[in-house]
A and B are shown apart, each in its own frame.
Chain A
């Protein structure tokens, strides 16, 4: 079913889902929504499977025209979504009629919003996923005139399903990014490690889905030699010759030659999707056991949100 005509694509809007797994050994990154929490919430609200394809909307500018009546939900950044000029609900499923115009007018908070339509987007599949990875010729960002299609809505596609705002992560003045050290933390001096863990870094404008660069104090290396290229996991914190950390994200390379001082824990990866250039962050080392405990806490928090949404769903 045709659901949207793209009138204006905005600065960077792409189709994303949970990502493609099992292709790193072929040099293919996982891709998928950068803010997995907001992505799953959008699908939950639209009554979709958790891995259905949605739009990832980076910064305001997107204008869509509804081509059919439908239920949709917007989560993530507050980009001042409006339906025919009137405020659209955030983190709450709503109805659109044919001809309604959905706009994202200005950034109020965050960086990336997610739009799920009931049924999920029906776009081309590459290597098991609908996620756009333009550098690898798997789709491209939205263009004006594109028409988006969706699958039939599920039984839970009802306007009014909502996530309580008290459940949402609130952006602090300085983001706390927890990491496990290694595998190449030994390539840096003691002072370099102190700099890494004791300084405030700011997100560089040279950041994107591939990786998030930072500006801040130079991390002192103990050796100069480049590493023989080795595998680079999601969340790897690379420190190239200029001494400034780069956090690899979902479109990141599968191998690389810079030493990796640390890896961002899974529970804190989504923060990079929400930060704007210039936003402050601080890296904090935790043990692997603590990282696993925090991942389990995040999973439990998510299960509580799912229960609350199911309970809040208006019954017909």
Chain B
């Protein structure tokens, strides 16, 4: 499908694919974003991919909009042939329940199963990273198993600690920093998925995969504060 192009102000062009959250559409977004980055188009400042759309930021003094639209269309037309860099699997050790998973019992009740089963199902899953965004490299994870798909909290919590692992709808998140959130929190990791002293501030990229295997607190604490990109054995190629 040809993407729809919509100029957004002076220096941005919104490029939209089909309006749905699905891996194939997301792959189209990532292919086009990757192709534009590889092409290093003169005047393109930044390409920001999301679920099913991407924004191309550019310098209007160096690149005219019609020319940019032409470049985007030509890359989109041969996007099928673009080979994305290999995705990786990150295994993020997570402590489930207790003080670290304040919503585990609630989710268990809503899903009609014991809390340990909720933790087991979630920990056994492998979740694709659709995009990075919001604030501080938040990875938007998807494809959470059906029994754990619940609406967001009616009243968001005003502050949830960094490292908290939560679900809502079919989405999952690992909070990069303390923040308000309406997700249901099942557990917590002590690994730093985000650290602005590193450049880039997260090793996770759209297209990667995430697992949150259950570990005991003492083991989880051994990785406390360690940047995910430097945690031994956390990243596996070719997922």
**Which residue numbers of A lie inside 8 Å of B, CB to CB?**
21-29, 126-128, 135-138, 180, 182-183, 228-231, 233, 235-236, 253-256, 260, 263-266, 288, 291-292, 295
Contacts and interface: CB of A to CB of B under 8 A. Distances in A.
Nearest to A128: B199
A199 to B, nearest CB: 21
B9 A228 contact: no
Contacts, number: 134
A256 B134 CA distance: 6
Interface in B154-205: 176-177, 179, 195-197, 199-202
Given A137-B177, A180-B9, A229 B47 contact: no
Most interface-central of A231, A233, A260, A295 (chain B CB within 10 A):
A231
Given A27-B132, A228-B19, A183 B14 contact: yes
Contacts of A260: 8
10 contacts: A21-B45, A23-B200, A24-B46, A27-B176, A29-B135, A136-B201, A180-B8, A183-B8, A254-B135, A265-B9
A265 B12 CA distance: 12
B9 A26 contact: no
Most interface-central of A25, A138, A255, A288 (chain B CB within 10 A):
A25
B199 A27 contact: no
Given A27-B133, A135-B177, A127 B19 contact: no
A28 B54 contact: no
Given A28-B136, A266-B10, A233 B202 contact: no
Contact of B196 (A137, A180, A230, A233): A137
A23 B135 CA distance: 11
Given A137-B177, A231-B55, A253 B8 contact: no
A39 B238 CA distance: 47
Contact of A254 (B6, B9, B19, B133): B133
B201 A28 contact: yes
B137 interface: yes
Interface string B7-28: 1111110101001110000000
Contacts of B19: 228
The 10 closest A-B pairs by CB, nearest first: A255-B133, A231-B55, A263-B9, A183-B6, A230-B53, A27-B137, A231-B48, A27-B133, A25-B48, A136-B136
B166 to A, nearest CB: 16
B49 interface: yes
Contacts of B199: 127-128
B138 interface: yes
Nearest to A252: B135
Contacts of A229: 50-51, 131, 133-134, 140
A255 B131 contact: yes
B201 A235 contact: no
A52 to B, nearest CB: 21
A228 B21 contact: yes
A25 B65 CA distance: 21
Given A137-B177, A263-B9, A230 B51 contact: yes
A138 B201 CA distance: 11
Contacts of B12: 231, 233, 263
A256 B50 CA distance: 10
A26 B200 contact: yes
A228 B17 CA distance: 11
Contacts of B16: 230
A30 B220 CA distance: 33
A230 B8 CA distance: 12
A27 B134 contact: yes
Contacts of A266: 9-11
Contact of B50 (A22, A230, A291): A230
B45 A228 contact: no
A236 B8 CA distance: 9
B63 to A, nearest CB: 12
Contacts of A135: 135-136, 177, 179
A26 B201 CA distance: 8
Contacts of B112: none
A27 B54 CA distance: 13
B202 A255 contact: no
A126 B134 contact: no
B8 A263 contact: yes
A107 to B, nearest CB: 29
A292 B47 CA distance: 21
A292 B10 contact: yes
Most interface-central of B9, B10, B134, B196 (chain A CB within 10 A):
B9
A235 B19 CA distance: 24
A126 to B, nearest CB: 5
Given A25-B49, A136-B177, A228-B19, A288 B133 contact: no
